[in-house]
Amino acid sequence: MSDEPATDRWTFGVEPLAQTEELAARLRRITGLALSLDAPAPALDRLLADLDRAEAALAAGAPDPTPRVGDAADGDGRPYVDHARDVGSFNACFPEYTIEVDGAHARGAVTFPIAYEGPPGLVHGGFLGVFVDCVVQHHNCDVGVAGRTTAMTVRYRRPTPLGVRLTFEIHRDVADDRTRSVVRLTNGDRTVCEAEVEAFAGDRANLPAVSPRRSTP
C-alpha cells in the first residue's frame, strides 16, 4: 500500500466561535476542580446560579438543534462546526492535543486532565478511543483524503496516567477506497495504547452542502 500525495486540507463546516473555544477550556478546568473538592463550596453554588441564568438566556435564542447540512442547509437549524481537527478546542467533551503532520506520518502529544478519569489516577479507556479517532481523522483531513471511520481496534497495553504528557505517532496508508492508520500512544519509552483505524477515502465532491454562519439581526 502507498499513501497519496498531500493535497489541500479537508474542511467540512464552520469555524468555532472564539467564545466557544474559551468556554471549552474553562469547563474542562472547572470540572477538574469540582471533582477535586472534599466538601461543598460556596463558589460552586454561585457558579451554578450563574449557569442557570446563562442557560435560560441562551435557550431563549437557540435555533432548532438540527445542523444546517445537506437537505437542511437552508433550514432554521444550528451551524455545523467543522470536526475535521482540534475538536477539543471547542468541545470540552473531547481531549485537546498537539499534532504535526508530515505526509503519511504524524506525531504529537496529549495530556489528559481529571475530567477524563476512569480508575483512580488513570484515563478512562473510552476517552482513549475518542482521542485515537480524533487524531486519525485530523491526520486524514490535513493530507486531504478523509472520510467516515469504518472500523477501530484499541489495545490497552498499560494503564494510562492522568496529568502526564504522553506522545503519539501515526502511520497511514491508502489503498483503493480505504485509509488505514496505526497509532501508538506512549508514556516515555512505554507504550500504553495501540490502535488501528480504517476509514473511507472519501471524495470531497460528494460532501453535502454546509450553511455558513448567519449574522444576527
Give the pLDDT score at 7: 57
At 49, list the grid cell: 446560579
Question: Residues 153, 92, 22, CA angle at the centre, nearest 5°?
Answer: 145
CB 78 within 8 A of CB 68: yes
- Across the chain, mean pLDDT equals 94
Give the pLDDT score at 206: 87
Give the pLDDT score at 8: 77
The radius of gyration of the chain from alpha carbons, rounded to an integer in Å, stands at 19
| pLDDT band per the 50, 70, 90 thresholds, residue 204 | confident
In CATH, what number does 18-201 get?
3.10.129.10
Q: Is the pLDDT of residue 2 over 70?
A: no
Segment 122-159, tens digit of pLDDT: 999 999 999 999 999 999 999 988 989 999 999 999 99
Give the pLDDT score at 217: 52
Cα gap 98→138, rounded to integer Å: 11
Helix (H) or strand (E) holding 167: strand 166-175
Give the pLDDT score at 3: 46
Segment 78-129, tens digit of pLDDT: 999 999 999 999 999 999 999 999 999 999 999 999 999 999 999 999 999 9
Q: Is 4 helix (H, G, I), strand (E, B) or coil?
A: coil
CB 114 within 8 A of CB 174: no
> Where are the chain's structural domains?
18-201
Cα gap 120→212, rounded to integer Å: 43
Query: What average pLDDT does the segment 177-195 reach?
Result: 97
Give the pLDDT score at 134: 97
| pLDDT band per the 50, 70, 90 thresholds, residue 215 | confident
The percent of residues above 70 in pLDDT, for the chain, comes to: 96
| pLDDT band per the 50, 70, 90 thresholds, residue 6 | very low
Segment 25-84, tens digit of pLDDT: 999 999 999 999 999 999 999 999 999 999 999 999 899 999 999 999 999 999 999 999
Helix (H) or strand (E) holding 53: helix 42-61
CB 182 within 8 A of CB 125: no
